[in-house]
Amino acid sequence: MFLLIIYPILVIIILFLWSQFFSKNGRSSGNKISPMHYKTIPSPKGLVPIFGHLLQLKKNPHEKIKEWYEEHGNIFKIKFGSVDTIVLTEYPVIKEAFIENGPAFVQRFVRRSRTDLNKGVNLANSNGEYWKNLKTILLTEMTNSKLKRLEHYIQQEAEGVSDYFASVAKSGEIQDPANYIKLYSMNVILKFLFGIHYPYTVEGHSDHMLATIRRYFRSTGQPFPGDFIPLLYPFTKDKPKEYFQDYATIREFVSEIAKTRLDTMDMTLEPNNILDSLLIQHKKVGDIPLYGVIATCIDLVLAGSDTTGNSLLFIIIALCNNPEIQETLYEELVATFGVDQQVSYSDKSKTPYLCAIIKEAYRRFPAAPLSVPHYLDRDVEFRGYLLPKGSQVFQNVYSTHLSEKEWDRPMEFKPERFLEQQTSKPIIPFGLGSRSCVGMNLAENEIYILAATLFRKYKFMRPTSEKLSEDGIFGLALQSPDFKIKVEQR
């Protein structure tokens, strides 16, 4: 009797899952474009019913996707559960999609694990007019002229980090620089957002916040099965617990600041920072809910603290592993600035070698390996293929920057490639198209100023003859590996 009851239930479940797997993920059955005249989109083998290719991605999706790129080319399709996923690689392909066909690719792919946290009213995950309004507000606060007026914030923070390394050099101890470099990045974005700052002691709340952000970025980069297999969502909606707990910690921190400011600020005065501008839009115009202000500030705290900090850490790793490059950079910086001259981003044109090093770090260690996924709200004809409505789309920045087809010896750190105009190629460290990072000008300013400050004052060295690992750890942002260094005062 038990089998007579359970058997039809199992059949119904299997049929439902199978239908989910082969569903067109929201594609209209009345599609007017016939697929018969289009090329078949290449796809890897090993498709597993229900899960698609998810089980093959494991802990390093960017590396597996690079393998598939090398096998299947610059346009291929994989399955995330029931969701068709289009992977676009190489600069000309990504540019054609996100610049020349921008409106078709502009939507953000909505995942329930994200909207459970941010309700879809933050910058990264919103769409339509609401997203355009948020982006306009933030870009207005991050113009080059405003960044120039506030550059002294970045310079002060760079001096704070420099003072820390002076104490490290004096002590002669081997140090892990990660928290101090990331605290620099976090302090810069906190000043632009809220006008606050943490001292360079990395104790207490700032230390806890940095660890929380790092864990969150590692976990949020992984594909959550419940986002792509609807039947699994009720069983996985609160997992991994650490992901939800870390976001709640950051939300509590930002919420307290935002709500306190809302209660005390004078709406008739000019805004002092980005938070003020968002709160004025919330209070006066009413088209951004308070939770949208908080969630957008969380986006900026997360991205501003982690991606920029990791880029700086990868530069330190690369220069420790290539001391001859570090010496050439030192010579350029001393000849340009001396020892005590304050560095400004407007000095960029005077230091071509430093700029080449930063570009090479962007290329070799891409901050957002797969960017944040996009969504096709229509069928798209693209390069002889029919990309189906309902697909998520990846800008495969990692493989683009490390492709042997595009770059000579791509795994080597060679700043010279960006000094040779005839061989220099475009890179896309901040994504491409209208969804590119709104804070890229700020990020470039703070990376340049800190690098120019530190590498003319200090020599960074490996503790042993063994090279430091250059293997990034996958997340929403590529994380630098753990490492320790010795520092000498120049």
Q: Indicate the annotated binding residues.
A: 437
Do 330 and 425 meet the contact criterion of CB atoms below 8 Å apart? no
Q: Please report how the helices 178-193 and 290-321 are oriented relative to each other, as an axis angle in degrees rounded to 10.
A: 150
Cα angle vertex 451, ends 404, 423, to 5°? 30
Phi, psi of 485 (to 5 degrees): -140, 165
227 by Cβ neighbours in 10 Å (0-12 / 13-18 / 19+) ranks as buried
- Report in angstroms the alpha-carbon separations of 5 from 12, 13, 120, 372: 12, 13, 41, 45
Q: Which helix (H) or strand (E) holds 294?
A: helix 290-321
- How many of the other CB atoms lie within 10 Å of CB of 28? 11
Q: What's the Rg (C-alpha) of the chain? A: 24
Known binding residues for heme are 437
Nearest C-alpha neighbor of 130 from the set 298, 286, 250, 294: 286
Phi, psi of 415 (to 5 degrees): -60, -30
**Separation of alpha carbons 142 and 299, rounded Å:** 15
**Separation of alpha carbons 351 and 150, rounded Å:** 22
**Separation of alpha carbons 20 and 30, rounded Å:** 19
Count of alpha carbons within 13 angstroms of residue 227, beta-carbon side: 22
